[in-house]
Amino acid sequence: MITTEICLKRFKDDYSFRLEESTVKQYILAVEQLITYCDKPFTKINSKEIRRWMFSLELKEYKAGSLKTKLAGVKLFFKYCIEEGLLTKDPVKNIPFPEVEDKLPSYLQSDELIQLRELVKGQIEERAVIEVLYSTGVRLMELVEIKKEDINWHERIITIPKGKRKKERIVLFTRECAEHLKAYLDVREDTLPFVFVNTTSTGSMCPRTVQLNFQTYTKKLGIHMSPHTLRHTFAAHLAKKGMPLECIQVLLGHNGPHQTQLYARLYHQARKEIYDQWM
């Protein structure tokens, strides 16, 4: 009989080529938490025990989004076990996902973006980060992994070699972004290949550094924002300028139906704002 440890390792190895590393880690953690809660091998866990585990997480005040992620990990793990012939019955197949309220993604209005740019005036690195996030719509993890060789300055495009679900895509950037990005690169003294580097110039920029900066912006401006807010802002502002939704989604690297629906709502909300200005 295969051990839980070996099974989880095989599961990780198999899905590391299909999903983001952080997602795989979250899924494995969820399965490990379930097994610890049930205190028995994964082959002996049944539906009632999984439901009780989920209820125990609710009592610990886990948010619906976190519960959904954990259940998704458990579902994928047991599906993998079925496919590999390790189980004959899926104990989690008929357990529904918790309902999660899909809030419309928040984004910055033009005047709020101006305030943000004014706030970091003179901070060359921070302004470069903001401009790349805003003009390309890349995710935070994609941002810190961009290398100098990925940039085509003449065409003003950046190749994102390992986006979500390991798919490569091309993003564009503005002349204003190019100006601030070059200004930042010109003052760099290291020879690292990364576009953005950490404070000790020994590797790529730490995502946490960017997140902390945005927490500071939120406090100083009184406007809630995160790196992902600029991704939403990118999409909303393009929508207001008339770019078709399909083109925006290609630039964002979307291919899931849930993302498509959510950003379709964002798109129509942004377009409605333009309509309201004229009526």
Tell me the catalytic residues. 139, 164, 228, 231, 254, 263
Distance CA 146, CA 204 (A): 9
| Total Cβ atoms within 10 A of residue 23 | 18
200 in Cβ contact with 192 (< 8 Å): no
Cα distances (Å, whole numbers) of residue 112 to 107, 108, 120, 270: 9, 6, 13, 15
Closest to 232 in 3D by CA, of 55, 103, 91, 121: 103
Instruction: Look at the block and give the residue holding tokens 């629906």.
Output: 261
129 in Cβ contact with 143 (< 8 Å): yes
| 169 beta partners | 160
Where do the H-state alpha helices sit in the chain? 4-15, 21-38, 47-59, 64-83, 110-119, 124-136, 140-145, 175-186, 207-221, 227-240, 245-252, 257-278
- Give the list of residues 6+ apart from residue 212 with CB closer than 8 angstroms, or none: none
Q: Identify the H or E element spanning 151.
A: strand 151-152
